[in-house]
Amino acid sequence: MSTLADLAAGMSDGSVEVVDLTAPLSEETPVIQLPEPLANTPGLRIEELSRYDDRGPAWYWNVLHVGEHAGTHFDAPVHWVTGEDGPDVSEVPAEDLVGPAAVIDMSREVEEDPDFLLEVEHVRRWEEEHGSLPEGGWLLYRTGWDARSEDEEAFLNVDGDGVSHTPGISVECARWLAQEAPIVGLGVETVGTDAGAAADFDPPFPVHSFLLGAEKYGVTQLQNLDRLPPTGSIVMVAPLPVEDGSGSPCRVLALTTH
């Protein structure tokens, strides 16, 4: 009771800040592009129903046509074959969607190498400085890639051979985060939780494979992670509870203090 009263007081006096980690969603928002013959997801398309006109004189409303995995979005365990018996997006316990955030900043390394992969030793080094990854929390992986999110070409960064050069996580680190680390979820700034080149890893797409297989969660296309300290923030991830859904565009907010 007094904890929430303190929080309310902090929000009212400005010592607690709400940071929006969500990329705005528009018809231009980039989505992942898989090679032929794989099916691709559409991004967002907005169909207008009325806008204060004959179709609805006093109201404006639309229909959203959107892939589950468009923009800032949530991956439920059932998204991947390794998690096929796990929860769909409506079955994810709400308490897993709110938790302490650990922010690891590799933006300097990624500036040198867009194919940079986070390794267990990077997380261990972070833990030496900031303490263990939080039980039931979220690891938020800052790469600086959010600066590219409004420019599809720069964001997907595909070369002449069709390979995407975007940062990610090594196979061993993905396995470790899934099976040994106490976190429940991973948030990234890129179009997916795996590296751009991860189709050729063993296993392919190891973050999806291990994390979702361990009934943990992924969130993509975050921004404003530079406004969070390494520890001490609370993140809230809010996908739509679509029954049987594999994921959902979502709003991701953080509470932080200065």
Positions that interact with Mn ion (CB under 5 A)? 69, 75
Nearer to Mn ion, 31 or 106 (CB): 31
Q: For the chain, give the longest Cα–Cα distance.
A: 64
**How far, in Å, CA of 109 to CA of 194, rounded?**
17
To Mn ion, the closest distance from the beta carbon of 73 in angstroms equals 6
Two tokens, residue 10 = 């902090």
Q: Least CB distance from residue 32 to Mn ion, whole Å?
A: 7
Q: How far apart are the two ends of the chain, measured CA to CA in Å?
A: 23
Residue type at 228 in one-letter notation: L
Choose, from 65, 69, 73, 79, the residue flagged as catalytic. Answer: 79
Are 28 and 155 contacting, i.e. CB atoms less than 8 angstroms apart? no
Backbone angles phi, psi at 45, to 5 degrees: -130, 130
| Residue number with CB closer to Mn ion (122 or 148) | 148
Distance of CA 190 to the CA centre of its chain: 8
Q: Shortest approach of Mn ion to residue 249 CB, angstroms?
A: 10
- Residue 191 DSSP label: S
Sequence letter at residue 207: V
The three-point CA angle 145-149-219 to 5° equals 75
Between strands 117-118 and 168-169, the pairing is parallel
Residue 80 three-state SS: coil
Min CB(153)–Mn ion separation in Å: 20
Q: Helix and strand tally (H, E) in the chain?
A: 7, 12
Which helix or strand (DSSP H or E) is residue 177 part of?
helix 171-179
Query: Least distance from C-beta 141 to Mn ion, angstroms?
Result: 15
Closest residue by beta carbon to Mn ion: 69
Shorter beta-carbon distance to Mn ion: residue 99 or 239: 239
Q: Is 79 a catalytic residue?
A: yes
Whichever of 69 and 175 has its CB closer to Mn ion, that residue is 69
Q: What burial letters (b/e) apply to 26-61, b meaning 16+ CB within 10 Å?
A: eeebbbbeeeeeeeeeebbeeeeeeeeeeeeeeeee
Minimum distance from residue 240 beta carbon to Mn ion (Å): 14
Name the residue nearer to Mn ion (CB basis): 126 or 201: 201
Nearer Cβ to Mn ion, position 75 or 88? 75
- Looking at the annotation, which residues are catalytic? 79
